Amino acid sequence: MKLICIGRNYTEHIKELDNEKPSDPVVFLKPDTSILLKKQPFFIPDFSDDVHYEVEVLVKINKVGKHIAKKFAHKYYDQIGLGIDFTARDLQAQLKAKGLPWEKAKAFDGAAVIGDWLPKSAFENVDAIDFSLHKNETVVQSGNTSLMLWKIDELIEYVSKYFTLKIGDIIFTGTPSGVGKVIANDKLKGYIEDKQLFSITVK
């Protein structure tokens, strides 16, 4: 399985990092070794002094597909989840300045939190899902999938032009504004609507 991640999919997040608004979705991959094991803490890596949380709505692919038209994309997933794309922001800045790939800053061990899953049928409209991240009981990120530049079905259409989607693949759909640094002993909890889908401790 692979983790397909979308960057710069919320306007306010683009602004907070002073990035350019892309003309197409920004796509990068994480290996399965980046998945944080269930019930394990997140350990801040020793190569970064500025690891940021980025909460994201996740989509799990349930059938094989390539060159999927937007009108058929809804048939390729039936579960919605929530996770964190941890980012070593200082390392990412160094790599971006040199025009190098982001993987060392985005795909290190433990950099992908995958919470519990909810059936897609639980939502009236997947393009209007409220979600949030709480750090130490304070809401630090909140978003709604209606604010995505590219909605879920559009992302599936776009990504499947380049990568065959396989059963179990997960798409990280991008983060809203409010990203920030984690420090040891932080408690991070993620919610879709009023349902808690993950809770992790930072070490």
Mean pLDDT, the chain, rounded, equals: 95
Task: Check residue 93 and give its pLDDT.
Answer: 95
Q: Where are the domains of the chain?
A: 3-201
| Per-residue confidence (pLDDT) for residue 23, from 0 to 100 | 86
Alpha-carbon distance of 67 to 53, in angstroms, equals 32
Residues 41-69, mean pLDDT to the nearest whole number:
98
Is 17 a residue whose pLDDT tops 70? Answer: no
Q: What is the pLDDT, as a whole number, of residue 122?
A: 96
Separation of alpha carbons 190 and 71, rounded Å: 30
Enter the pTM of the model: 0.95
Segment 150-171, tens digit of pLDDT = 999 999 999 999 999 999 999 9
Distances (CA, A) of 173 to 68, 87, 137: 17, 15, 24
Q: What is the mean pLDDT of residues 103-108?
A: 97
Q: Would you give the end-to-end CA distance of the chain in angstroms?
A: 27
- Domain covering 3-201, topology: Fumarylacetoacetate hydrolase; domain 2 (3.90.850)
Is 80 exceeded by the pLDDT of residue 13?
Answer: no
